Structure 1
Amino acid sequence: MDDEDELWQRARRDDGAAFAALFDLHHARVYRRALALLGDVHDADDIAAAAFFELWRKRRSVPLVSGSVLPWLLVTTVNLSRNSRRGTARYRALLRDIPHPLSVAGPDAEQLETSRRLTEALGRLAPVDAALFVLTVLEELPVAAAAQTVGLKAANARVRLHRARTRLRVELHDLNPDVRPIVEGSPS
């Protein structure tokens, strides 16, 4: 593991080749851990990539544990996997809670249609507005944090988020006609 210590010291000094060698050394273990936690090869790929991205981003402060960065990578992989599962659960809950009429095609077809419609509606929003909606509604970030992420002041973000929600409510109203859409400027 002396070689890993040397690689890590070089990587901490922005040596991309040394970091690539660490990636090659530990990627399979990190990927296997993510796959075991998530059960999906695509999600595991994403989480493994994110763990190494975090390692690179925090390279100046990540210590070696028993001469290796692997323990830090594995803990990060577990945390990222948990966050991913929570985000997926919130997204599914949002889709489940969006009002929709009963369909003879069954709940799977309904959920797919609702998901498709929500995705299309988000695509018609301005990118900043869609990002605000995703960050606050799906990822449950506070508006101030979401605003900072997209480069807005919190007050401006609140206004844009209100308008985005109103537009989505109007666009998706036909999924459940019993819910009256709230149109900006009208009494609620």
Structure 2
Amino acid sequence: MNNDQDDGPLWARAQRDEGAAFAELFDRHRARVYRRALTLVDEHHDADDVTAAVFYELWRKRRSVTLVADSLLPWLLVTTVNLGRNNRRAAARYRALLARLPRNDEQVPQKDLEDIELTDRLRASLRGLSSGDAALLVLTSLEDVPVWQAAQSLGLKPSTARVRLHRIRQRLRVDLHDLNPSTSPAQEGVLS
């Protein structure tokens, strides 16, 4: 994680209900939270909703949220993963409802069907992870948060986090073995 700014002083002010300090923290981290949310949901407007919900939760829980390595970012990203997954589940329920309604089927090109199948398989495999495992994978593999910081933000020991990451990667390799096989060993913090 490349976070050169210390959130400590601003966070202390925000915890004392200073809106300007909270707004500065929002401006500092909004883009990163939005980018992560966009990878978890299907639509830009859903990513906007998740981003707003993350910062609402931060404000609501401002008395109990603690910094990890002087940064709010790990907490924000874990919350983004959790809320993004909630959003996807709600969207899936809505799509299931729509699928039960009568409609006219149109022909979908074969290439689009293949892309949809690959994307659906990857998403299904990731959704099969527990909330903690999904957060650990996102923090270390996609957000470049060091394992020790990700572990601390999830309440784990670094050694436990490394073992869980190894198991997560093994599971994803099995689930997705035919999508893009790789023979190179995975580096820490890199999803292969």
| Structure with greater proportional helix content | 1
1:53 matched to 2:51: no
Shift, 1:107, TM fit: 3.5
Whole-Å separation in 2 of the counterparts to 1:41 and 1:94: 22
Q: 2:22 aligns with which of 19, 24, 29?
A: 19
Larger Rg over CA atoms: 1
**What fraction of aligned residue pairs are identical, expressed as a percent?**
65
Q: 1:107 aligns with which of 75, 85, 105?
A: 105
Whole-Å separation in 1 of the counterparts to 2:53 and 2:83: 8
Whole-Å separation in 1 of the counterparts to 2:42 and 2:95: 17
Shift, 1:54, TM fit: 0.4
Shift, 1:18, TM fit: 0.3
RMSD: 1.7
Correspondence 1:26-45 to 2 at 5 A: 26-45=29-48
2:145 aligned partner: none
Aligned residues: 103
Whose RCO is larger (CA < 8 A, sep 6+)? 2
Q: 2:96 aligns with which of 85, 88, 93?
A: 93
Q: 1:73 aligns with which of 72, 76, 90?
A: 76
Letter in 1 for 2:22: F
Shift, 1:41, TM fit: 1.4
Q: Structure 1 pair 41/67, CA: closer, same or farther in 2 (3 Å)?
A: same
Consecutive unaligned residues in structure 2, runs of 5 or more: 107-192
Q: Structure 1 pair 26/2, CA: closer, same or farther in 2 (3 Å)?
A: closer
Shift, 1:42, TM fit: 1.1
Whole-Å separation in 2 of the counterparts to 1:30 and 1:3: 17
**TM-score normalised by structure 2 residue count:** 0.50
Letter in 2 for 1:25: R
Whole-Å separation in 1 of the counterparts to 2:37 and 2:5: 27
Whole-Å separation in 2 of the counterparts to 1:60 and 1:97: 44
Consecutive unaligned residues in structure 1, runs of 5 or more: 109-188
SS in 1 for 2:7: helix
